[in-house]
Amino acid sequence: MQEVHLNINGVDVIAEKGCTILEAAAENGIKIPTLCHEDRLEPYGACRICVVEVEDARGLLPACTTVATDGMVIKTETDELKRIRSTIIELLLSDHPLDCMTCESAGSCELQDLAYEYGVKDVYFVGEKHEYEKFVDGPLIERDYNKCILCGRCVRICREVQGVGVYDLMNRGFDAVPGTPFDKPLEESSCEFCGQCISTCPTGAIITLPSAGKGREWEMEKTKTTCTYCGVGCQLYLNVKDGKVVKVTSDYALGEPNHGNLCVKGRFGYDFIHHPDRLTKPLIKKGGRFNEATWEEALDVVSKKLLDVKEKNGPDSIFVLTSARCTNEENYLLQKLTRAVIGTNNVDHCARL
């Protein structure tokens, strides 16, 4: 690694050559506040919350888009920076509904967190406020642009990460707002309902509808697990309240293989978990009717029937198809059972077909 040597807040630090001031600070445990930055996205420099003082530089520099160079002397927390950041937050709140009491994102809202951190209580900029209609995009997504802070994260994640590009920023100045082609609902666009835009939105402007009203952020216990829908093995959190999964989220920090990204199945396909029709016990068909059985009874029936077929028609009359919904270990065991116990190489995997 090629290094650069910097001084941040009076401390000498080392960072990787080519990284931004924001990354250099984060690498050394120094937090610089941001609103438009996200680890999954290219630097953008829209919100200006991350401005820092750099010795001998003309004016303040945005930490998220400024490359850290050797010998830089940087200050990230001064009274002047605090005043500027507070003013930016006040400006954002001046056109904001401020309904944190009922907002789905309260507790996980980056704007709310910053207003708290910088002690912004009153809004001094009084003027026109937007009153946009909410978009209800089918059963999964709701967009309320009254809470939008124009960070562009939804636009960028859809384009840069998902490769779809449903949104763009429409209009100019005070009327700038994210939008879909011809302002149509997401179902009438090329949207894949991956929910990446929900996951990156720093406020309550884009929310997950199925979990709306089902619990506040701080009431949910997060259990890290692996998505069961396919062999990619995305890492996610089951958000559980009162013993029930009410939402699925992920996080860049969970790392490989998905770095916080999920598809429509992983993010929204969890209602089967508590569905009353879900099979939780084996069923054995007798006299045209399914009857509940124990696992021992069910496995006994399956092994007897497989042995019958093998005896009558030989092992190659049996074909075993395994599933991407199983773990690697389960798939390994099933092919071992097929080859070593049943005695055939007739084994395949749904992901290969």
Binding test (CB under 6 A) with ligand SF4, winner from 52, 54, 89, 103: 103
Q: From CA 223, how far away is CA 238, in angstroms rounded? A: 5
Q: From CA 226, how far away is CA 49, in angstroms rounded? A: 35
* Contact criterion met (CB below 8 Å) for 161 and 261: yes
* Contact criterion met (CB below 8 Å) for 256 and 262: no
What is the per-residue binding string for ligand SF4 in 287-316, x denoting contact by CB under 6 A?
A: ------------------------------
Judged by beta carbon, residue 106 or residue 301, the one nearer ligand SF4 is 106
Judged by beta carbon, residue 20 or residue 112, the one nearer ligand SF4 is 112
Tell me which stretch binds ligand SF4 (CB under 6 A): 65-73, 151-159, 242-250, 278-286. 151-159
Residue 49 touching ligand SF4 (CB under 6 A): no
Contacts of 208 (CB under 8 A, 6+ apart): 104, 140, 141, 195, 198, 247, 267, 268
Classify residue 175 by its DSSP letter. G
Give me the least distance between CB of 343 and ligand SF4, in Å please. Answer: 47
Binding test (CB under 6 A) with ligand SF4, winner from 43, 62, 152, 260: 152
Residue 186 touching ligand SF4 (CB under 6 A): yes
Judged by beta carbon, residue 66 or residue 199, the one nearer ligand SF4 is 199
| 329 CB neighbour count, 10 Å cutoff | 8
Residue 266 touching ligand SF4 (CB under 6 A): no
Residue 204 touching ligand SF4 (CB under 6 A): yes
Judged by beta carbon, residue 55 or residue 187, the one nearer ligand SF4 is 187
For 271-302, give one letter per residue: b (16+ CB within 10 A) or e: eeeeeeeeeeebeeeeeeeeeebeeeeeeeee
Give me the least distance between CB of 171 and ligand SF4, in Å please. Answer: 13
235-241 sheet: strands from edge to edge? 221-226, 235-241, 244-249
Contacts of 48 (CB under 8 A, 6+ apart): 62, 88
- Specify the length of the chain in residues: 353
What is the per-residue binding string for ligand SF4 in 119-148, x denoting contact by CB under 6 A?
A: ----------------------------xx
The residues binding ligand SF4 (CB under 6 A) are 96-100, 103, 105-106, 109, 111-112, 147-154, 157-158, 162, 164, 166-167, 178, 186, 191-197, 200-206
